[in-house]
Amino acid sequence: MPSAPLAERLSIPSGPLFFPVTAYGHDGALDLDAYRAHVRQGVEAGAAAVFACCGTGEFHALTPEEFETCVRAAVEAAEGRAPVVAGAGYGTALAVRYARLAEAAGADGLLAMPPYLVAAAQEGLLRHYREVAAATALPVIVYQRDNAVFTPDTAVALARTDGVIGLKDGLGDLDLMQRVVSAVRTEVPGDFLYFNGLPTAEQTQLAYRGLGITLYSSAVFCFVPEIALAFHRALRDGDDTTAHRLLDGFYRPFVELRAQGRGYAVSLVKAGVRLRGLDVGEVRPPLHEPAEDHVKRLARLIERGYALLGGDV
Protein backbone atom coordinates (compact mmCIF):
# COMPACT_ATOMS: atom_id res chain seq x y z
CA MET A 1 0.00 0.00 0.00
CA PRO A 2 1.17 3.57 -0.64
CA SER A 3 2.69 5.29 2.38
CA ALA A 4 0.22 8.18 2.34
CA PRO A 5 -3.14 7.39 3.97
CA LEU A 6 -6.19 7.29 1.74
CA ALA A 7 -7.75 10.41 3.32
CA GLU A 8 -4.59 12.37 2.62
CA ARG A 9 -4.47 11.21 -1.01
CA LEU A 10 -8.12 12.11 -1.56
CA SER A 11 -8.13 15.42 0.30
CA ILE A 12 -6.51 17.17 -2.67
CA PRO A 13 -8.74 16.44 -5.68
CA SER A 14 -6.07 16.14 -8.37
CA GLY A 15 -8.58 14.71 -10.85
CA PRO A 16 -11.97 13.06 -11.14
CA LEU A 17 -12.80 9.96 -9.13
CA PHE A 18 -12.90 7.04 -11.57
CA PHE A 19 -15.59 4.36 -11.28
CA PRO A 20 -14.59 1.78 -13.91
CA VAL A 21 -17.13 -0.53 -15.49
CA THR A 22 -16.57 -4.26 -15.04
CA ALA A 23 -15.59 -5.98 -18.29
CA TYR A 24 -17.21 -9.21 -19.44
CA GLY A 25 -16.37 -11.40 -22.40
CA HIS A 26 -18.84 -12.66 -24.98
CA ASP A 27 -19.46 -15.70 -22.77
CA GLY A 28 -20.51 -13.45 -19.90
CA ALA A 29 -17.46 -14.26 -17.75
CA LEU A 30 -15.02 -11.65 -16.46
CA ASP A 31 -12.63 -10.28 -19.08
CA LEU A 32 -9.70 -9.34 -16.88
CA ASP A 33 -7.47 -8.19 -19.75
CA ALA A 34 -10.08 -5.65 -20.85
CA TYR A 35 -10.73 -4.66 -17.25
CA ARG A 36 -7.06 -4.04 -16.52
CA ALA A 37 -6.76 -2.03 -19.74
CA HIS A 38 -9.79 0.06 -18.73
CA VAL A 39 -8.39 0.77 -15.26
CA ARG A 40 -4.94 1.49 -16.66
CA GLN A 41 -6.34 3.96 -19.20
CA GLY A 42 -8.23 5.80 -16.47
CA VAL A 43 -5.21 6.07 -14.20
CA GLU A 44 -3.01 7.26 -17.06
CA ALA A 45 -5.66 9.82 -18.02
CA GLY A 46 -5.42 11.42 -14.58
CA ALA A 47 -7.92 9.79 -12.21
CA ALA A 48 -7.39 10.75 -8.58
CA ALA A 49 -8.67 7.36 -7.38
CA VAL A 50 -10.15 4.13 -8.74
CA PHE A 51 -13.43 3.00 -7.18
CA ALA A 52 -13.56 -0.65 -8.25
CA CYS A 53 -16.66 -2.85 -8.17
CA CYS A 54 -19.00 -0.11 -7.02
CA GLY A 55 -22.26 1.00 -8.65
CA THR A 56 -20.92 1.65 -12.15
CA GLY A 57 -18.87 -1.53 -11.79
CA GLU A 58 -22.01 -3.65 -11.24
CA PHE A 59 -21.18 -4.69 -7.68
CA HIS A 60 -24.64 -6.21 -7.46
CA ALA A 61 -23.90 -8.63 -10.32
CA LEU A 62 -20.58 -10.03 -9.05
CA THR A 63 -20.01 -13.14 -6.99
CA PRO A 64 -17.66 -12.74 -4.02
CA GLU A 65 -14.98 -14.61 -5.95
CA GLU A 66 -15.38 -12.34 -9.00
CA PHE A 67 -15.34 -9.30 -6.74
CA GLU A 68 -12.02 -10.25 -5.16
CA THR A 69 -10.55 -11.05 -8.57
CA CYS A 70 -11.62 -7.67 -9.99
CA VAL A 71 -10.34 -5.69 -7.03
CA ARG A 72 -7.00 -7.48 -7.25
CA ALA A 73 -6.85 -6.74 -11.00
CA ALA A 74 -7.61 -3.06 -10.36
CA VAL A 75 -4.82 -2.87 -7.78
CA GLU A 76 -2.42 -4.50 -10.23
CA ALA A 77 -3.40 -2.11 -13.04
CA ALA A 78 -3.22 1.00 -10.84
CA GLU A 79 0.30 0.08 -9.69
CA GLY A 80 0.06 2.46 -6.75
CA ARG A 81 -0.36 5.49 -9.02
CA ALA A 82 -3.90 6.00 -7.71
CA PRO A 83 -5.54 4.49 -4.64
CA VAL A 84 -8.09 1.73 -5.21
CA VAL A 85 -11.32 1.84 -3.21
CA ALA A 86 -13.60 -1.22 -3.38
CA GLY A 87 -17.33 -1.47 -2.83
CA ALA A 88 -18.86 -3.39 0.08
CA GLY A 89 -22.56 -3.94 0.55
CA TYR A 90 -25.63 -6.08 1.26
CA GLY A 91 -26.41 -7.12 4.86
CA THR A 92 -23.85 -6.67 7.59
CA ALA A 93 -22.38 -10.19 7.41
CA LEU A 94 -21.91 -10.03 3.64
CA ALA A 95 -20.63 -6.45 3.74
CA VAL A 96 -18.01 -7.56 6.27
CA ARG A 97 -17.08 -10.47 4.00
CA TYR A 98 -16.67 -8.18 0.98
CA ALA A 99 -14.62 -5.77 3.09
CA ARG A 100 -12.23 -8.54 4.07
CA LEU A 101 -11.99 -9.79 0.48
CA ALA A 102 -11.11 -6.26 -0.63
CA GLU A 103 -8.43 -6.01 2.03
CA ALA A 104 -6.97 -9.37 0.96
CA ALA A 105 -6.94 -8.15 -2.66
CA GLY A 106 -4.85 -5.11 -1.74
CA ALA A 107 -7.45 -2.34 -1.81
CA ASP A 108 -6.64 0.98 -0.15
CA GLY A 109 -10.14 1.62 1.16
CA LEU A 110 -13.83 0.76 1.08
CA LEU A 111 -16.99 2.41 -0.20
CA ALA A 112 -19.68 1.05 2.13
CA MET A 113 -22.93 0.95 0.18
CA PRO A 114 -26.47 0.82 1.62
CA PRO A 115 -27.68 -2.40 3.24
CA TYR A 116 -29.81 -4.62 1.04
CA LEU A 117 -33.59 -3.99 0.93
CA VAL A 118 -34.37 -3.24 4.58
CA ALA A 119 -35.41 0.19 5.84
CA ALA A 120 -33.50 0.50 9.10
CA ALA A 121 -33.61 3.05 11.90
CA GLN A 122 -30.65 5.31 12.55
CA GLU A 123 -29.28 3.16 15.39
CA GLY A 124 -29.34 0.08 13.16
CA LEU A 125 -27.59 1.88 10.31
CA LEU A 126 -24.93 3.18 12.68
CA ARG A 127 -24.31 -0.31 14.07
CA HIS A 128 -24.08 -1.73 10.52
CA TYR A 129 -21.42 0.73 9.36
CA ARG A 130 -19.47 0.47 12.61
CA GLU A 131 -19.26 -3.29 12.17
CA VAL A 132 -18.08 -2.88 8.58
CA ALA A 133 -15.46 -0.34 9.68
CA ALA A 134 -14.24 -2.60 12.47
CA ALA A 135 -13.89 -5.62 10.18
CA THR A 136 -10.66 -4.50 8.51
CA ALA A 137 -7.88 -1.95 8.77
CA LEU A 138 -9.12 -0.24 5.61
CA PRO A 139 -10.52 3.32 5.80
CA VAL A 140 -14.22 3.50 4.97
CA ILE A 141 -16.32 5.98 3.02
CA VAL A 142 -20.03 5.61 3.79
CA TYR A 143 -22.46 5.99 0.88
CA GLN A 144 -25.67 7.85 1.72
CA ARG A 145 -28.59 7.04 -0.63
CA ASP A 146 -31.83 5.09 -0.95
CA ASN A 147 -32.44 3.32 2.39
CA ALA A 148 -29.33 4.69 4.10
CA VAL A 149 -29.98 8.36 4.84
CA PHE A 150 -28.43 9.90 7.93
CA THR A 151 -29.49 12.63 10.32
CA PRO A 152 -26.81 15.13 11.30
CA ASP A 153 -26.49 13.39 14.67
CA THR A 154 -25.87 10.02 13.00
CA ALA A 155 -23.37 11.63 10.63
CA VAL A 156 -21.51 13.00 13.66
CA ALA A 157 -21.47 9.51 15.20
CA LEU A 158 -20.15 8.06 11.94
CA ALA A 159 -17.44 10.72 11.74
CA ARG A 160 -16.37 9.74 15.28
CA THR A 161 -16.15 6.05 14.31
CA ASP A 162 -12.65 4.66 13.98
CA GLY A 163 -11.90 3.96 10.35
CA VAL A 164 -14.69 6.07 8.83
CA ILE A 165 -13.09 8.91 6.87
CA GLY A 166 -15.91 10.31 4.76
CA LEU A 167 -19.48 10.42 3.51
CA LYS A 168 -20.53 10.12 -0.12
CA ASP A 169 -23.93 11.65 -0.84
CA GLY A 170 -26.14 10.07 -3.47
CA LEU A 171 -29.36 11.60 -2.14
CA GLY A 172 -29.09 15.19 -3.34
CA ASP A 173 -30.78 16.90 -0.40
CA LEU A 174 -28.60 20.00 -0.14
CA ASP A 175 -30.34 21.29 2.98
CA LEU A 176 -29.58 18.01 4.77
CA MET A 177 -25.99 18.01 3.51
CA GLN A 178 -25.44 21.56 4.74
CA ARG A 179 -26.69 20.54 8.19
CA VAL A 180 -24.51 17.41 8.15
CA VAL A 181 -21.40 19.37 7.16
CA SER A 182 -22.11 22.00 9.80
CA ALA A 183 -22.75 19.47 12.57
CA VAL A 184 -19.63 17.43 11.85
CA ARG A 185 -17.50 20.57 11.52
CA THR A 186 -18.80 21.81 14.88
CA GLU A 187 -18.60 18.59 16.86
CA VAL A 188 -15.79 16.45 15.40
CA PRO A 189 -12.21 17.72 15.34
CA GLY A 190 -10.09 17.10 12.27
CA ASP A 191 -10.95 16.66 8.64
CA PHE A 192 -13.84 14.59 7.30
CA LEU A 193 -14.26 14.00 3.58
CA TYR A 194 -17.45 14.59 1.61
CA PHE A 195 -18.24 13.41 -1.90
CA ASN A 196 -20.97 14.24 -4.39
CA GLY A 197 -22.11 10.79 -5.48
CA LEU A 198 -25.16 11.62 -7.55
CA PRO A 199 -25.39 10.05 -11.02
CA THR A 200 -23.45 12.26 -13.46
CA ALA A 201 -22.29 14.29 -10.49
CA GLU A 202 -20.88 17.05 -12.69
CA GLN A 203 -24.46 18.19 -13.29
CA THR A 204 -24.83 19.16 -9.62
CA GLN A 205 -21.22 19.85 -8.65
CA LEU A 206 -21.48 23.63 -8.85
CA ALA A 207 -24.12 23.43 -6.11
CA TYR A 208 -22.05 21.02 -4.02
CA ARG A 209 -19.03 23.27 -4.42
CA GLY A 210 -21.06 25.93 -2.66
CA LEU A 211 -21.22 23.61 0.38
CA GLY A 212 -17.46 23.18 0.27
CA ILE A 213 -17.70 19.67 -1.24
CA THR A 214 -15.06 19.39 -3.96
CA LEU A 215 -14.81 15.61 -4.40
CA TYR A 216 -17.21 13.93 -6.80
CA SER A 217 -17.62 10.72 -8.75
CA SER A 218 -17.41 10.84 -12.52
CA ALA A 219 -19.01 8.04 -14.52
CA VAL A 220 -18.43 9.81 -17.82
CA PHE A 221 -14.69 9.74 -17.08
CA CYS A 222 -14.97 6.06 -18.10
CA PHE A 223 -15.48 6.98 -21.75
CA VAL A 224 -14.71 10.69 -22.21
CA PRO A 225 -11.89 11.38 -19.74
CA GLU A 226 -10.75 14.51 -21.58
CA ILE A 227 -14.19 16.10 -21.11
CA ALA A 228 -14.32 15.05 -17.46
CA LEU A 229 -10.83 16.46 -16.86
CA ALA A 230 -11.66 19.75 -18.60
CA PHE A 231 -14.70 20.15 -16.36
CA HIS A 232 -12.67 19.26 -13.27
CA ARG A 233 -10.02 21.85 -14.18
CA ALA A 234 -12.72 24.47 -14.75
CA LEU A 235 -14.11 23.87 -11.26
CA ARG A 236 -10.66 23.91 -9.70
CA ASP A 237 -9.71 27.15 -11.45
CA GLY A 238 -13.05 28.91 -10.97
CA ASP A 239 -13.60 28.95 -14.73
CA ASP A 240 -17.38 28.94 -14.68
CA THR A 241 -17.55 29.90 -18.35
CA THR A 242 -16.01 26.58 -19.39
CA ALA A 243 -18.00 24.69 -16.77
CA HIS A 244 -21.26 26.17 -18.06
CA ARG A 245 -20.31 25.45 -21.67
CA LEU A 246 -19.74 21.79 -20.88
CA LEU A 247 -22.82 21.58 -18.70
CA ASP A 248 -25.07 23.09 -21.34
CA GLY A 249 -23.57 21.34 -24.35
CA PHE A 250 -22.64 17.92 -22.99
CA TYR A 251 -23.67 17.06 -19.44
CA ARG A 252 -27.30 18.20 -19.54
CA PRO A 253 -27.98 16.38 -22.84
CA PHE A 254 -26.25 13.31 -21.44
CA VAL A 255 -28.40 13.37 -18.30
CA GLU A 256 -31.51 13.71 -20.45
CA LEU A 257 -30.41 10.73 -22.53
CA ARG A 258 -29.56 8.76 -19.40
CA ALA A 259 -33.12 9.34 -18.17
CA GLN A 260 -34.53 7.50 -21.19
CA GLY A 261 -33.94 4.07 -19.63
CA ARG A 262 -33.77 2.44 -16.22
CA GLY A 263 -30.25 1.42 -15.36
CA TYR A 264 -28.75 3.68 -18.01
CA ALA A 265 -26.44 5.20 -15.37
CA VAL A 266 -24.50 1.96 -15.87
CA SER A 267 -25.45 0.50 -19.26
CA LEU A 268 -25.17 3.79 -21.17
CA VAL A 269 -21.73 4.40 -19.66
CA LYS A 270 -20.66 0.90 -20.66
CA ALA A 271 -21.92 1.57 -24.19
CA GLY A 272 -19.79 4.72 -24.20
CA VAL A 273 -16.68 2.73 -23.31
CA ARG A 274 -17.37 0.39 -26.21
CA LEU A 275 -17.92 3.33 -28.55
CA ARG A 276 -14.45 4.60 -27.64
CA GLY A 277 -12.89 1.33 -28.76
CA LEU A 278 -12.61 -0.93 -25.71
CA ASP A 279 -14.89 -3.97 -25.73
CA VAL A 280 -16.01 -4.36 -22.12
CA GLY A 281 -19.04 -6.47 -22.99
CA GLU A 282 -22.66 -5.95 -22.07
CA VAL A 283 -24.23 -5.40 -18.68
CA ARG A 284 -25.46 -8.36 -16.69
CA PRO A 285 -29.15 -8.78 -15.82
CA PRO A 286 -31.26 -7.35 -14.35
CA LEU A 287 -29.76 -4.38 -16.22
CA HIS A 288 -30.32 -4.22 -19.96
CA GLU A 289 -28.51 -2.74 -22.94
CA PRO A 290 -29.48 0.72 -24.26
CA ALA A 291 -31.69 0.93 -27.32
CA GLU A 292 -29.80 1.22 -30.62
CA ASP A 293 -31.11 4.74 -31.20
CA HIS A 294 -29.91 5.80 -27.77
CA VAL A 295 -26.42 4.47 -28.50
CA LYS A 296 -26.38 6.45 -31.76
CA ARG A 297 -27.43 9.58 -29.85
CA LEU A 298 -24.63 8.93 -27.37
CA ALA A 299 -22.10 8.68 -30.20
CA ARG A 300 -23.23 12.05 -31.56
CA LEU A 301 -23.10 13.56 -28.09
CA ILE A 302 -19.54 12.36 -27.58
CA GLU A 303 -18.52 14.07 -30.83
CA ARG A 304 -20.27 17.26 -29.70
CA GLY A 305 -18.57 17.12 -26.32
CA TYR A 306 -15.12 16.94 -27.84
CA ALA A 307 -15.97 19.78 -30.22
CA LEU A 308 -16.86 21.90 -27.19
CA LEU A 309 -13.39 21.48 -25.73
CA GLY A 310 -11.74 23.51 -28.43
CA GLY A 311 -8.22 24.23 -27.33
CA ASP A 312 -8.62 22.57 -23.92
CA VAL A 313 -7.38 19.16 -25.14
CB 240 within 8 A of CB 219: no
- Amino acid sitting at position 233: R
- Amino acid sitting at position 300: R
Which candidate in 24, 98, 129, 143 is catalytic? Answer: 143
Which candidate in 98, 168, 208, 216 is catalytic? Answer: 168
> CA 211, CA 235: separation in Å to the nearest integer?
14
Degrees, nearest 5: CA angle 13-99-130: 85
Our answer to whether residue 168 is catalytic in this structure is: yes
| Residues 102-105: contacts with CB under 8 Å, at least 24 apart | 102/67, 102/68, 102/71, 102/136, 102/138, 103/136, 103/137, 103/138, 104/68, 105/68, 105/69, 105/71, 105/72, 105/75
Our answer to whether residue 296 is catalytic in this structure is: no
Residues assigned a catalytic role: 143, 168
